[in-house]
Each structure stands twice: as structure tokens, then as C-alpha cells.
Amino acid sequence: MQTIAKGSVVSGTSKNMEMKLTNVARTSLEELRRDYEDFLRQRGLPLWPRDDPRRQLQGTGLWRVRSF
């Protein structure tokens, strides 16, 4: 996210630089996703499907309270 923000700041002077930084951010996010999936796999933890309702509760603290 910081790379995208930097790209937006730079955008006033160079659209080319903004595109480069945005692409770097996208690549970094993809690498993070793969690392997270490896983390789950190594620990035998499930990867929740996109439509799993627990994903909507992630970050709210409520997923610990609700049972599915």
C-alpha cells in the first residue's frame, strides 16, 4: 500500500513512474499472498474459500466469538 501511495505522490511529475510503482506493489502483494498460503500449509491450517463467511469477520475480532 505504501508503494501505491508513493506512486500517487509521484504521479504529478511522472505517470510512467506511477505505473512502475503500482506494478511493484501488485507484485509484492502477490508474493505476500503466496507466503501466507505457505505459512498456512506448513502448519496444517485451512485456507478459507473466498465465499467463507469467516473472511468477512476477519479483522473485527468477532470471528473468535462466533461458531460456524
Q: Greater confidence, 38 or 13? A: 38
pLDDT per position as a tens digit, 24-36: 888 999 999 999 9
pLDDT per position as a tens digit, 47-66: 888 888 877 766 666 555 55
Residues 16 and 11: their CA atoms lie apart, in Å, by 8
Nearest to 66 by CA among 56, 55, 52, 54: 54
Q: Is the pTM of this model over 0.85?
A: no
